[in-house]
Amino acid sequence: MRKRYELIEHTADFGIKVKGRSLSDVFRKAALALFDIIAEKKPDTHPRQKILHIKQTAATQEELFINWLNELLSLSQTKEVIFTRFQVEKLTATLIKARAIGRDVRGYRVNTEVKAATYHTLALTKTAAGWQARVIFDA
């Protein structure tokens, strides 16, 4: 599978940089990159699909982005799921409603534990081609 993100080297942690045509594209691609880094599917397994509905609010777009990623991390741990698809149903500067689709963690090999998305060097920028995000994760 072709990587849709760029890894950012950072001392003890790691980061990603993603680009998208729209802001919802960037939210979705950042989440996909995060779980692509966290785990990989074990061969010949077909874990049960799980769908979770997510609603997050925040005072700013940047806070919403961090809340989104951290909510996904929290749900992944508590529900024992690795997310593989995201459908953003509504996105404003302060609200996201989405569906996170994933599979039981037992069908995956976990490569790294991620504690949280951080504000350190966070950038969520509108560009001529669309949107771009840069985020560092506490691993």
Task: Assign 47 a pLDDT band (cuts: 50, 70, 90).
Answer: confident
User: What is the torsional sign of CA 78, 67, 23, 112?
Assistant: negative
Residue 1 in any domain: the answer is: no
Is 42 a member of any domain?
A: yes
CATH (domain of 57): 3.55.10.10
Question: For residue 72, which of 42, 41, 102, 40 has the smallest C-alpha distance?
Answer: 102
Q: Would the pLDDT of 9 be above 70?
A: no
pLDDT per position as a tens digit, 52-109 = 999 999 999 999 999 999 999 999 999 999 999 999 999 999 999 999 999 999 999 9
Contacts of 38 (CB under 8 A, 6+ apart): 76, 82, 110, 111, 112, 113, 114
With a pLDDT cut of 70, the percent of the chain lying above it is 94
What is the reported pLDDT for 11? 63
In a domain, 37, yes or no: yes
Alpha carbons within 13 A on the beta-carbon side of 129 = 6
Query: Which residue, among 80, 63, 59, 78, has the nearest Cα to 27 in the 3D structure?
Result: 63
The number of domains in the chain is 1
pLDDT score at 4: 73
